[in-house]
């Protein structure tokens, strides 16, 4: 049985391992936990952010970050952004990702959000099919720009 909870600092090695465990993550993530610890502290200090982990027994098997966004568009609608959705490779296609997204949706709704949105890399075709099955619609074209340090 999977249980969802807010992540703790002690969970970071497992969360970072999940982030790094795919072709895109291998090129983006690093072994030094210091930047992740600093980011975690900022996330934990801001009530608009939630770093969620799913665990089975003592094993972290899934994670995502949920951010609640207030905006003026759509008549001031509150929306929620889901980022960094991951499950462990050996347990994929067993409903864990769907349960994680249901948890994110539940938390978003509880925070007053009326729209749940996410982006996914164009190369993640299995993720696209997953989000389609969950009722997400590919409604926008996303852009990103890296800023100089």
Q: Return the H-helix or E-strand segment holding 14.
A: helix 12-20
Among 56, 66, 49, 138, which residue's Cα sits nearest to residue 96?
Answer: 56
pLDDT of residue 80: 98
DSSP letters for 89-139? GGGTTSSHHHHHHHHHHHHHHHTT-SEEEE---TT-HHHHHHHHHTT----
Task: Quote the number of domains for the chain.
Answer: 1
Q: Dihedral sign, CA of 107, 80, 29, 94?
A: positive
| Predicted structure pTM score | 0.94
pLDDT of residue 26: 83
- Residue 137 scores a pLDDT above 90: yes
Sheet holding 49-56, edge to edge: 3-6, 49-56, 59-70, 78-87, 115-118
Query: Percent of the chain scored above 90 by pLDDT?
Result: 88
pLDDT tens track for 24-73: 888 889 889 999 999 999 999 999 999 999 999 999 999 999 999 999 99
Residue 116's CATH number: 3.40.630.30
User: Residue 63: beta bridge partners?
Assistant: 53, 86
pLDDT of residue 24: 82
Average of per-residue pLDDT values in the chain: 95
The answer to the question of residue 144 being in a domain is no
Pair 68, 20: CB distance under 8 Å: no
Residue span of the structural domain in which 20 resides = 3-133
Pair 89, 125: CB distance under 8 Å: no
The answer to the question of residue 141 being in a domain is no
The answer to the question of residue 143 being in a domain is no
């Amino acid at each position: 049985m999977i249980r969802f909870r807010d992540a703790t600092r002690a969970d970071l090695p497992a969360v970072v391992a999940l982030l790094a465990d795919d072709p895109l993550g291998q090129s983006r993530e690093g072994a030094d936990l210091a930047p992740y610890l600093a980011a975690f502290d900022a996330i934990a200090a801001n009530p608009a952010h939630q770093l969620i982990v799913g665990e089975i027994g003592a094993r972290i098997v899934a994670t995502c970050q949920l951010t609640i966004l207030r905006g003026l568009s759509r008549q001031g609608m509150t929306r929620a952004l889901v980022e960094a959705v991951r499950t462990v490779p050996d347990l994929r296609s067993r409903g864990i990702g769907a349960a994680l997204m249901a948890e994110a949706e539940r938390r978003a709704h509880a925070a007053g959000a009326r729209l749940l949105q996410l982006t996914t890399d164009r190369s993640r075709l299995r993720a696209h099919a997953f989000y389609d099955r969950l009722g997400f619609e590919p409604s926008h074209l996303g852009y990103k720009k890296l800023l100089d340090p």
